Structure 1
Amino acid sequence: MNIVIIGTGNTASVLGRRLKAAGHEILQVYGRNAKTASDLAYELDTESTNYWSVVNREADIYLIAVSDIAIAEVVQELQLSESTVVHTAASVPLNVLEGTAHQGVFYPLQTLKKELGRQPDIPIIIDASDAATLDKLDELAHSITHHVMEADDATRLKLHVAAVFCNNFVNHLYVLMADYCQKEGLDFALLQPLIAETAQRINEIAPLAAQTGPAIRQDTNTIARHLEVLNNHPALAEWYQRFTLSIQNQKA
């Protein structure tokens, strides 16, 4: 398919690479910043622009990969009433694209960083205003992943909540522990094999069955000693107690 990408950030960059590698033609990259648009266009072997008036009008799909709050403005600027226009946002409804003939959602359920050379598996969640557009997006999605699901606005939002817990909040715990290790003179790198094993294990058994540690064992002596260690880290102590109680309640 012939695609115009609107945006130059993580989602635009990673999806652009995947789509190009799958044999699709990236006709153009639009970005507010001329340099970042040019850089991404160079990588994708295409042209770029930072002017709405010269956005290519011949694409099969216009892929809007910008911040959630900017999508409505982009739709107004594009003025593509007869085209297929899709956005990549999890929590923005499909009808933000009203005014275009064919509307769709092409949401990558993955944490994306354009600086990383490694290419993760990317499940794609799709939705559309009509059957023909849904078929087109299904074909596009299957060209870059085996994991494709159709979901309406409400389901997509629920998936995003789950993704925030599984990724953003978990990563925040890594941030807290990296800071804790630095303050206590510990090497955070020693925890990385544990982090990797924890993530890998839930591919083999259910998360509840994978739970280990003093909380699920009701090991009150170890819990008490840990809380003593955290006397100088009151915020961490509070999190420790909350997680301990949650694990124990889940087991019950």
Structure 2
Amino acid sequence: PAQRLAAEVGAEAIDYQGKPNLDADMFIIAVSDHALQECLPHFNLDHKLVVHTAGSVSRDVLKPFSPFYGVLYPLQSLRKEMQEIPEIPFLVDGSDEAVTKYLEDFARSLSPMVARMGDDDRIRLHTAAVIVSNFTNHLYAITEDFCRHEHLSFDLLKPLILETASRIRHVSPAEVQTGPAVRKDIQTLDKHLRILTAYPKLRTTYLRLTDSIMNP
């Protein structure tokens, strides 16, 4: 996949045992957080601009390898199976103002949504991203499992999922919260909890989220 992508954009793909072309303007190390620590010592990029793409890793992990370093973090969930690239906000940070400005301009060539953000705020936003993306998807997964066991079609819920997500493009999520918990509809909540007796983990999740909605 790396070689195919490099061919499409006129770049060069190497593994971290290879020797990079030092004529490049910038080196983007796009690997997992764990692999980042492992591969950095293999590169000799003295006085070259080097950036990583991790949301939860400090920019300063690159400091021992070059005086010019930074972060180019795409705040989006990306998969190689995607047919179209979605809108991608970029968060940038650099070792000095010149590097930050360079990364900002580069990111704006890729997306209209670009923000400068240091380590502390970036890890906070990364935390928020895990909650709204990973946790939400997990709720879909455990609900799909519930539907499967109850011989219900999860596909019937997909229009509701898309409609609910689309509402927050223009208003605060708190303003469009619906359901029995926000209405304090105890009778309906009790019916749901009786159904979920056979699914203790899902029932616990239901109770905790209900309490969070009723007692914000």
Aligned ranges for residues 189-200 of structure 1 at < 5 Å?
A: 189-200=155-166
Deviations 1:76-102 (CA, angstroms, capped at 9, x unpaired):
111111100000001100110012020
Note if 1:125 corresponds to 2:91.
yes
- From 160, 164, 183, give the equivalent of 1:217: 183
Counterpart position of 2:22? 57
1:75 paired residue number = 40
Instruction: Give TM-score scaled by structure 2 length.
Output: 0.95
Aligned partner letter, 1:77: H
Instruction: Work out which of the residue numbers 130, 140, 158 in structure 2 matches 1:164.
Output: 130
TM-score by length of structure 1 reads 0.82
1:219-245 deviation per Cα after TM superposition (whole angstroms, max 9, x unaligned): 000000001111111111111111111
Structure 1 residues 167-222: Cα deviation after superposition (integer angstroms, max 9, x where no partner) = 00000000001111111111111111100011110112211111000001010000
Q: Pick from 188, 193, 201: which aligns with 1:227? A: 193
Q: Do the aligned residues in 2 keep the contact of 1:37 with 1:50 (CA within 8 Å)? A: no
Cα-to-partner distance string for 1:96-150 (whole Å, 9 max, x where unaligned): 0012020110001111112111211000000000111111101111001111111
Q: Partner residue of 1:244?
A: 210
Aligned with 1:49: secondary structure?
coil
1:43 deviates by 3.9
Return the structure number with greater relative CO, CA threshold 8 A, min gap 6. Answer: 1
1:138 corresponds to which of 95, 98, 104 = 104
Q: Distance in 1 between matches of 2:17 and 2:31?
A: 15
2:115 to 141, 149, 156: 149
**Are residues 53 and 182 of structure 1, via their aligned partners in 2, closer, same or farther at CA, if it must alter by over 3 Å?**
closer
1:89/1:105 contact within 8 Å kept: yes
Q: For residue 111 of structure 1, what is the aligned residue in structure 2?
A: 77
Give 1:204's aligned residue: 170
- Distance in 1 (CA, whole Å) between partners of 2:81 and 2:117 is 29
Residue 37 and residue 129 in structure 1: after superposition, are their counterparts in 2 closer, same or farther (change >3 A)?
Answer: same
Q: Offset at 1:72? A: 2.7
Q: Percent identity?
A: 44
Q: Is the 8 A contact 2:16 2:39 kept in 1?
A: no
Specify every segment of 5 or more residues in structure 2 that has no aligned partner in the other structure, as ranges: none
